[in-house]
Amino acid sequence: MPVSNSVSADRYPLARPLDCIRTMQSMIDLHDHVERFLLGESAEKPRLAGTCHKDCPLGKHLRDVAAPHAGGDACLQCADFHAQTSHAVLMKEQGRYSSEGELLCAVQNLRTTSERLQEHLVDWHLQHPIAA
């Protein structure tokens, strides 16, 4: 089922295509890193962005093409993903998860948000394929 993007591709033409596969892999890698940190499988603290940051492939692309609304729902999902990952890491660092169940619930919420973001990136890819 395609994910609807509320912003028309015709309204915001792209100067250069977004490599959605690379962007999805970057988001998956970040999600995996945060999840390993939350579960205590990694001591390396993930980079906290809070919002879209300079290394975020989707944000970087949208800033490069000077079309801040071109990402539509994908951009909103990306911002939500970054906010949730930052919040979860801060909660873990501050010892604010009162139980293992609460921590696992946060991990599951991040998985859901990550999957939703990936769906939107797939939709973006289908609307803006990279020319071979």
Q: What is the pLDDT along the chain (132 residues), one digit of tens a residue?
A: 444 444 434 444 445 566 777 878 888 898 999 999 999 999 999 877 655 655 666 666 666 654 555 556 777 788 888 889 999 999 999 999 999 999 999 999 999 999 998 888 888 778 776 654
Look up residue 115 and give its two tokens.
């999957």
Angstrom CA distances, 19 to 13, 23, 36, 124, stand at 15, 6, 26, 10
Rounded Cα gap, residues 75 and 93, in angstroms: 27
Rounded Cα gap, residues 8 and 70, in angstroms: 8
pLDDT of residue 102: 96
DSSP state of 66: T
The secondary structure element, H or E, covering residue 63 is helix 57-64
8 A C-beta contact, residue 36 and residue 42: yes
8 A C-beta contact, residue 30 and residue 68: no
